[in-house]
Amino acid sequence: MADRVSYRKLPGHRRGFLRGASVWLGPGHLLHVRSVRFREEYKRYQLQDIQAIAIARRPRFHISTRAFAIACVWLVAFAMLFQFPGATYGLWGVAIVLFCAWLYVSAAESCTCRIYTAVSRDELPSVYRTWVARRFLRALESEITAAQGGLDIAAGDVIETPDVGPREALSAAPVEPQGVPTAFATDDTASDYLLAATLLAVGLWRALALYHPLAWAQVVSNLLALAVLVTAIWVLVRHRQQKAPSKWLAIAAMVIIGLVYYVRLTVAGALAGARAAVEKKAIALDYSGGPISGYIEMGATLLLGLVGLGILLAGRARRQGPAI
Amino acid sequence: MPLPELTAATGDWSRCTLCGSENRVRVFPAAFQSATPVHVEARLEGEAACFDHPGKRAVAACRQCGRFVCQLCSVEFGSEIWCPSCVASRAGSAAQANLETSRTLHDSIALIVPLLSLVIWPFTVITGPGAVVYSMVKWRAPLSLVRRNRWRFVAAILTGLSMVAGWLLLIVYGLVRARARAG
């Protein structure tokens, strides 16, 4: 069976929340694995076809799932040691050191790695730190040399390199293949405008309700949030087979609205339960979540609404083309 | 893409002579091989013809099905020559050359969906048993090309079973309490 091919992992692994990448060495070829959450895509490079590997220093501010896990551990430690001032100072110190280290590594010790063959020029996202790139090259160089033989050049010689990579890159800018949707390939629809409008409406209504409390503000707010969810579903259905940025906006809107309402209910329930236990009497549940929840909802929805407007305006400007 | 003039490998980073950026480039012999275009010769009288292109001269026979192939149709698999249809149907040892370009990770779906549903825990009434059933149905489905074990399926089944057990305990507790109140 095909699965009998055994692969050895090469240094480097990009671990993102949705996307990941790694490079594996198989018999006579490299296997580049790109994962998009529940799907893996593979690309193979025969060792005898690899013309060059180029690594260029470049800042890469990537937050990996490991970094996120470290942040979560820090948060848990902070929550547990909140009562002890000495410990919290130490934790803040640790946080600052970790953040500075991440900043330094991202800015000064990061790179991009490209692999060239006669017909392709691809980036390997898994190799994005310089020390990983060094190990990656060391591991791969011997394998490629074994497949192709070595270059007969002495160190320090100046050589004129031939053109590497695909030929078309020399003569013309890359042509987007027909039929492949691009970020702004789709026309805006009524659903896109409605999504941006409802998001802005939720944000503005929240702002109004925060500064001028009204008895029925929560009801209107809930109805508007429901409208956002319905519109977001409409956007997702409308753009289901397209690569439209408003699709991501719809997903973000659904996540934000869901989180705000779920967290609000959970926190309100927990607080009411705790108060009822302390005071030993029934406490009415306050579903509004208080001003903090209101500020979060206002900020998030206004931000998303503005992003939606930006997407619509950018799409329109792009379709109209440059002014002559 | 043209690479700038390079100083032969001395070990570490060097500056690009064009833009000044720091780069490390390893060039391999394949870069110096000029690509030779495939010349498909026309068939002369009495010569064998390609199965798919009757006007072209055959240069080899497919190792799998024996069809004659011209230069254009011959596909090299290691030291053997194959015809495009045998490669497409993945006959014989062509199956060894894994041509898959993507796979769905059913084991990750089985594990992550029930874990994510813990955020909105009432959904676990569906995702718990769902994870167990999905893991059992997809147990034999191909895994990732590079990850070979099924620990995610095992973890998904255990997670799903513990969710089911939790719900059963909750229901039993509710029933017992309701009966105690009534009594």
Q: How far apart are CA A221 and CA A260, in angstroms?
A: 12
Q: Is the pLDDT of residue A165 over 70?
A: no
Kindly provide the ipTM of the predicted complex, given to two decimals. 0.73
CA angle centred on A172, ends A171 and A175, rounded to 5°: 145
Q: Judge whether B44 lies within some domain.
A: no
What is the pLDDT, as a whole number, of residue A97? 94
Q: Judge whether B145 lies within some domain.
A: yes
Q: Is the pLDDT of residue B8 over 50?
A: no
Phi, psi of B152 (to 5 degrees): -65, -40
Q: Judge whether B142 lies within some domain.
A: yes
Q: Judge whether B78 lies within some domain.
A: no
Q: Judge whether B117 lies within some domain.
A: yes
What is the pLDDT, as a whole number, of residue B94? 56
Q: How far apart are CA B58 and CA B70, in angstroms?
A: 4
A66 or A210: which leads in pLDDT: A66
- Decide: B72 and B58 in contact? Cβ < 8 Å: no
Mean pLDDT along residues A242-268: 82
Residues of chain B neighbouring A23 (CB-CB closer than 8 A): none
Residue-range definition of the domain harbouring residue B124? 106-182
Tell whether A297 is within 8 A of chain B (Cβ).
Answer: no
What is the pLDDT, as a whole number, of residue A312? 83
Q: How far apart are CA A178 and CA A75, in angstroms?
A: 48
Which of A64-78, A159-173, B33-47 has the largest mean confidence? A64-78
Q: Which of residues 77-116 of A touch B (CB under 8 A)?
A: 116
Q: How far apart are CA A122 and CA A117, in angstroms?
A: 9
**What pTM does this model have?**
0.62
Largest CA distance in chain B: 103
Q: How far apart are CA B75 and CA B93, in angstroms?
A: 13
Q: Does the beta-carbon distance from B28 to A144 stay under 8 Å? A: yes
Residue A19, classed as helix, strand or coil, is strand
Lowest mean pLDDT among A94-103, A289-298, B15-24, B94-103: B94-103
Q: Which ranges of A212-289 would DSSP assign to H, the alpha helix?
A: 217-238, 245-279
What is the pLDDT, as a whole number, of residue A83? 76
Reported as a single tens digit per residue, the pLDDT across B53-105 is 888 888 888 888 888 898 888 887 767 788 888 888 766 555 555 667 889 99
Mean pLDDT along residues A43-49: 88
Query: In whole numbers, what is the pLDDT of chain A averaged over residues?
Result: 80
| Nearest-10 crossing angle of helices A217-238, A245-279 | 150
Q: How far apart are CA B135 and CA B152, in angstroms?
A: 9
Number of domains chain B is built from? 1
What is the pLDDT, as a whole number, of residue A119? 82
Residue of A31, A156, A170 with shortest CB distance to B146: A31
Instruction: Locate the chain B residue with the closest alpha carbon to A55.
Output: B24
Residue A28 vs residues A7, A79, A135, A140, B144: alpha-carbon distances, Å? 11, 51, 20, 12, 20
Residues of chain A neighbouring B98 (CB-CB closer than 8 A): 2-3, 5
Q: Is the pLDDT of residue A171 over 50?
A: no
Encoded amino acid at B30, one letter: A
Mean pLDDT along residues B114-125: 88
Tokens 């000044």 correspond to: B20
Residues of chain B neighbouring A7 (CB-CB closer than 8 A): 145-146
Residue A166 banded pLDDT, cuts 50, 70, 90: low
Name the CATH code of domain A2-60+110-150 (choices 3.30.565, 2.30.29, 1.10.10, 1.10.8).
2.30.29
Instruction: Locate the chain B residue with the closest alpha carbon to A150.
Output: B29
Instruction: Sketch the domain layout of chain A as residue ranges.
Output: 2-60+110-150, 65-107, 190-320
List the single best residue of A22, A23, A38 to mutate versus B (max B Cβ within 10 A).
A38
